[in-house]
Structure 1
Amino acid sequence: MTLAHLDMIETLARRRGVRLAPDWAAAAPTDLDFRDPTTIDRLTVSLGWPSARRVRTRPRANAFPLLIFTSGSGWALAEQWETRTTIRALALDGVEEVAWGRESLLWEVNFPATAENRSFSRARDIFWSAIMRRKHVLVEAVVATIVINILALATSLYSMQVYDRVIPRGGFATLWVLTVGIGFALLVDFLMRVTRALIVNREAMAIDAEVSEYFFDRMQAVRLDARPPGIGTMAAQLRGLEQVRQLFSSASIFVMADLPFALLFLAVMGAIGGVVAIVPLVVFSLSLLLAILFSRAIREHADRAQVTGNRKNGLLVEALDASETIKANRGGWHMLAAWNNLIDAVHRHDLQVQRWSAVASQTFMLLQQVSYVGIVVWGAYRVNAGDMTMGGLIACTIISGRINGPLVASLPGFVVQWGYARSSLQALDRLLSMPSDQPLDRQKIRLDSANARLEVENAVFAHADSRFGLAVPKLAIGPGERIGIIGSVGAGKSTLLRMLAGLVPPQKGHVLLDGVALDQIAEDDLRREICYFPQDYRLVSGTLRDNLTLGLPACADDVLLEAASRTGLDELVRTHPKGLDLPIYEGGGGLSGGQRTMVGLARVFLLRPRFLLLDEPTSNLDQENEARVLDFLAGASGPDMSIVIVTHKLRFLGAMSRLLVMQGGRIALDGPRASVLQKLRDAQSKSSPPVPPAAAAN
């Protein structure tokens, strides 16, 4: 299967709404024959995907697209029915019509499981969707619950028979028969409970993995301009998934599943003891009412404890991330005071939750005892009157313990868990409400080829807490242009680069790539065309190889080494004993700022974008490495690559053919380098220059 056929698989995935990893084809064999009908099976096995399924019956219209194999054309992409007997297929030679019959083999590719490609507005809908995809497990759990609750009546009926028939008549043979039967019932009950617990716990873990993937992917897709200022607080919202998972996998959920069967127990108790069943009925109803009241009392404090706990997690992340600044400025006492205040607030709200939980627990325990005493007292009168037997009274007390025992006793813990889980769901709802740059409710435009023209039309952007914003009425960047941007601190230089890269969308106006708005272009196409290099280039934990190939298709080692040599990173690779497998810690720990910059520039060499946007790329480099970067930009960038660089260093400005001068979020000057520099010199010679002569980077 050739590269073109791998592109066919990628096209099929895209039309199915499935996102594949950038290096998904790295493990694909190179000796696959695209005219061999078994090729698809070999490919899925090598990639570790589920086996493809042969479509043997006539597919419906909504089953397309599929893969189709014919002896004449080999593998192609079946798009739809063209007529009632022919299928329109996209082959290597173009579009063709394929006759539907025994010679045409249709296959459905089962792509690996990924986060659900649907848009949700509420977190509980995501959990419910994951649960409903496991209906068969739900049915098994319901059947097990029914059997368990029916068997729960066995002990009460056993006791009634022993007291009413065995003891008065001395029928010990009957006793042993009943004992063997109850022993078998208890064994089945044990096996059913264990099986149910294992099934539910296994599926709870699978749901947790699926939902966690969805929320992590959704968190990454939140637009940069919409993210809350506290990253640690935002990350803590995902910890709420643990609260919800514990609710699904706890023992309380089993008891709640048994709750409807309390009506069955009350009916059996009414059949045995008559009006005595009124006592547990009243107590059970009162317990449910109190559970609702206690849950409302706990809800407010659980919400506040959750919010304060998120802020505490945010402070912890901030303290660890800024530890160097805190130590250098003796800010430890300030951070410790803030930490203690948050701890006190968390404890204050948790104490209220625990107080209500303790009151609820003791109240329900009292109700259980009242129910037992009431049944015994009323039952004694009915036994004396001959309206029920002694065995019936004992059976009623056992059944009452089943109703008001584990069912009612578990309500306090369930109420507390539900309070925290509900607060976590609200936090996750807030995460879902944040705007995303990868909306799942629409398919973005694919750019097969670009003419490499980036334009800004009446674009306006301002941060939420900023009095001033960026306003660019008109800006055009053509193929191969070299543009330098200078301006004072806060002039909007970095914001302009982020907007050109599509990282922050304009609140008004448009940024267009070849006439298409950036927010309408598929992310992988956009990132292939436009590369943004920030001031502080951060790395992710892993290896040097992982960071070089992050988001890129698989690259051979010789390609990686060439990129390292072009940026001066080869010395680090040669001198370190692990080479390209050099470990990188969180945020780029283990490398200096200059080395992190060189890793980023090596990625630029591997990506070869049409537009390269650099924000002060040499702020962490010495003069020797600056010269290397300048040579790299001159040599690695082809004539069609456009470079836009924010800098205040003259050696870089000298390599630019066009200059932009930013002032107050506006482009004050735009033109050829020599012309703009002359205007700046003329302005500097006057008493009030428009911008500082040595403009600092934003």
Structure 2
Amino acid sequence: MTTQIFDPLALCLIRVAKDYEISITQEGLLSGLPLPNGKLIPQFFSRAADRVSLTSNMVQQNLDQLNHFVFPAILILNNNTACVLYRFDTERQTATVYFPEMSDTVTEVPIAQLQEKYLGSVIYLQQRQFVADNKVKLEKTNQHWFWSVIRQHRSMYKDILLAALFVNIFALCAPFFVMNVYDRVVPNHATDTLWVLAFGIMIIITADFILKLVRSYFVDLAATRADNKLSAYIMEKVLGRRMEQNNMSVGMMASNIQSYEAIRSFTSSMTVVSLIDLPFFVLFLAVICIISWVFVIPLVIAAIIILLYALSVHISLKKLSDAMSEASQQRQGLLIETLNNQETIKSFNAAGRMQTLWEKATRFTVQYSSKLRFIGGTVGNFAGWVQQTAGVVIILVGVYLIVDGKLTQGALIACYLLSTRALAPIAQIAGLLTQYYQASSALNMLNQTVDAEQERENLKGWVSHPHLIGHIEFKNVSLCYPNESHSALNNISFSIRAGEKVAILGKVGSGKSSIEKILLSLYKPTEGSVFIDQTNISQIDPAELRSQIGYIPQDIQLLNGTVLSNIVLGNPHASRVALEQSLVVSGLSQILKAHEDGLSLQVGEGGHKLSGGQRQAVAVARAIAQNAKILVFDEPTSAMDTPLENHVIHHLKHYMTAQHTLILVTHKPTLLTLVDRIIILEDGKIIADGDKESVMKAMFPQQAKVAGAVS
């Protein structure tokens, strides 16, 4: 079982959730959060609270300022502790609180004593859903995962909009400055007026410069904050997906996630500023209309022409964006597959084949990208041409108006400058169409990832089992993997008592590993039910379940880092005794003696710096360090040499007690000395189940002799 550390803030949150009739374990609450030292800190509190459907707000307040109407609240105390505050009794000067150090007890303490420990930060909590008949009822929401985060920063966008208003008003000043200089200063030689006007316009230009800096700062700040939340949310959804949802290659999945960059690029400063400036087109038209309504006509026509052209190519842009996204996915998938299998590619001289596939994928990607850039470029260039043409038309019309005495030279120049500014955001928006469709395609791809079924549904009524004893029962279980017509398991039923040692044998593809995957809640049975300690496995929080299973998979995958970091991967706070025991049982204590780095030895990506036997020894140590009562081993010694295998078997016999339940998948007779019962599978069905001796004699008489000789 994973060693639990004392986490006051997490325990306080669990306590408040319990008050709202929401049950969750510490493993389930914190699983997947990037916590330093495995402890919940205020920075990640809102994300943890969201898992129990509680909204949280952390504020700085004195004790006498607390809002009694929203109790219970969590107080941050000194020495990295916390407590739940339920009520104040001002007459008796006492507070009713829950201290996580005192188990499940609510106690009264003097307010003065609480004041000494209180650091001034309080977390208010409110239930976002309601509970009826012991079931959580989720509030229906139409909020989109992306736009809901953007909306969280709407207050900041209000400030940006206000700054944009002043920036666009200031933009009116320069044309009027020019108009007054040409129409009043120059004809009258009023140099004093010129200096006054120049001084005024410099103040406005400076203010405009400062406001643009402030606007850009807030746009980037809002984008950065949203980006941090969205990136964390996407990764959390990827890690939380059920294995049944993994219906695409790792490369394609990586490409999907990487496509978020297109969304981030589109929501950058230029896009936001252009969208905000767009409504001010009407403002500039109104000002131009005041000077001379005639100039409004070419501007409106120009805006309509730009928008019509942009709409005429949007279907082509969308198709090309979708095609390029798909081509990029395949290219990315090929790249990751190549990088992960370089040794195999070189060993079988397949470099030419992979190079051919890469160049073919690149040709498609470049072809679509080139067409997309060209069509997108024509939109921007056409908008620029229309903008310049509108300026020329204004000059032509303006000259005739000047000749007729209906317009001054300064007014013409002012209208020309205003027309350029009016059409600028429309031209920019049209030029951003390519980025828009790329971002739209990326958002659609990410929707598939984010909307995938999660293995840990928020607020599901998990049954807490912090101390599983290991009684396992399969009832009429069938399993069919996604996009597979053949069932891996076909209506199997068996029961394993707590403390029983069972081997599961069978041919390749008989369904042995599928039993393990169901037991670890990696896959849900297509039919039937699985029970652990008389509780349906679907009711046990996957994080809590896996923390109580020592697992050795068939394919050993180590994470880039040290031997030690891989051993304690599932139990970061394993005790020294548990760690030393895992080293002895796995034989790593002997292996690492030959290396000067010891436990700090780097294993490389996937463990490629270690031999197969060494990787398997690390996997054995990792399972033992879990300190679990349920052990699930799949060929734990298949890559080991005979001395190391004998060492592991010998020490496993001494390690396992009557409290350990063992499920062993193997083809090696030598490992059968660890079990006293055998289940044999064939084509997803159980064809034999009984004590070791009788099953071996009936099914494998020759191997029974070998196993008997070894034992």
TM-score normalised by L of structure 1: 0.85
1:230 aligns with 2:249: yes
- 1:364–1:604 CA distance, 2 compared to 1 (3 A): same
Q: Which moved more, 1:552-561 or 1:423-432?
A: 552-561
Kept after mapping to 1: 8 A contact 2:475/2:493: yes
- 1:620–1:551 CA distance, 2 compared to 1 (3 A): same
State percent identity of aligned pairs.
26
- 1:390–1:24 CA distance, 2 compared to 1 (3 A): closer
Other structure's SS at 2:640 match: coil
1:19 aligns with 2:27: no
How far apart are 1:392 and its partner, in Å?
1.0
Once residues 378 and 441 of structure 1 are traced to their aligned partners in structure 2, the CA distance between those partners, rounded to angstroms, is 69
How far apart are 1:374 and its partner, in Å?
1.7
Q: 1:411 aligns with which of 424, 429, 451?
A: 429
The aligned counterpart of 1:613 is 632
Q: 2:371 aligns with which of 348, 352, 369?
A: 352
Unaligned runs of 5+ in 2: 18-23, 46-57, 125-137
Deviations 1:32-60 (A, max 9, x none): xxxxxxxx99xx9xxxxx99865545646
Once residues 241 and 599 of structure 1 are traced to their aligned partners in structure 2, the CA distance between those partners, rounded to angstroms, is 36
Once residues 61 and 540 of structure 2 are traced to their aligned partners in structure 1, the CA distance between those partners, rounded to angstroms, is 32
How far apart are 1:267 and its partner, in Å?
0.8
Q: 1:157 aligns with which of 160, 170, 176?
A: 176
The aligned counterpart of 1:636 is 655
Deviations 1:628-678 (A, max 9, x none): 221232222232111111101111113210001000101111111112112
Once residues 153 and 550 of structure 1 are traced to their aligned partners in structure 2, the CA distance between those partners, rounded to angstroms, is 63
1:369 aligns with 2:388: yes
Unaligned runs of 5+ in 1: 29-39, 45-49, 112-118, 686-692
1:437 aligns with 2:437: no
Once residues 292 and 250 of structure 1 are traced to their aligned partners in structure 2, the CA distance between those partners, rounded to angstroms, is 24
Aligned-residue CA RMSD in angstroms? 3.5
1:487 aligns with 2:498: no
Kept after mapping to 1: 8 A contact 2:281/2:422: yes
Aligned letter for 1:489? V
The aligned counterpart of 1:327 is 346
Kept after mapping to 2: 8 A contact 1:444/1:520: yes
The aligned counterpart of 2:479 is 461
Once residues 165 and 583 of structure 1 are traced to their aligned partners in structure 2, the CA distance between those partners, rounded to angstroms, is 79
Correspondences of 1:139-538 after superposition (within 5 Å): 139-404=158-423, 406-440=424-458, 442=460, 444-469=462-487, 470-538=489-557
Deviations 1:377-415 (A, max 9, x none): 2222322333322211110000001122x3233234411
The aligned counterpart of 2:680 is 661
How far apart are 1:219 and its partner, in Å?
0.7
Q: Which moved more, 1:629-638 or 1:534-543?
A: 629-638
How far apart are 1:188 and its partner, in Å?
1.7
Deviations 1:339-370 (A, max 9, x none): 22211221222222122113212211221122
1:565 aligns with 2:576: no
Other structure's SS at 2:671 match: helix
Kept after mapping to 1: 8 A contact 2:72/2:84: no
Once residues 142 and 315 of structure 2 are traced to their aligned partners in structure 1, the CA distance between those partners, rounded to angstroms, is 21
The aligned counterpart of 2:6 is 6
Once residues 120 and 177 of structure 1 are traced to their aligned partners in structure 2, the CA distance between those partners, rounded to angstroms, is 62
The aligned counterpart of 1:34 is none
- 1:199–1:632 CA distance, 2 compared to 1 (3 A): farther
Kept after mapping to 1: 8 A contact 2:323/2:368: yes
- 1:100–1:555 CA distance, 2 compared to 1 (3 A): same
Q: 1:574 aligns with which of 583, 593, 605?
A: 593
Kept after mapping to 2: 8 A contact 1:457/1:510: yes
Aligned letter for 1:449? H
Deviations 1:219-274 (A, max 9, x none): 11111222024111111110011111111224233222211111111111111122
Kept after mapping to 2: 8 A contact 1:223/1:504: yes
Deviations 1:299-342 (A, max 9, x none): 11101101110110001111111222222222222222222221
The aligned counterpart of 1:689 is none
The aligned counterpart of 2:48 is none
Q: 1:64 aligns with which of 72, 76, 94?
A: 72
Aligned letter for 2:476? N
1:138 aligns with 2:138: no
The aligned counterpart of 1:36 is none
- 1:666–1:615 CA distance, 2 compared to 1 (3 A): same
Once residues 443 and 387 of structure 1 are traced to their aligned partners in structure 2, the CA distance between those partners, rounded to angstroms, is 79
Aligned letter for 1:437? E
Once residues 676 and 647 of structure 2 are traced to their aligned partners in structure 1, the CA distance between those partners, rounded to angstroms, is 20
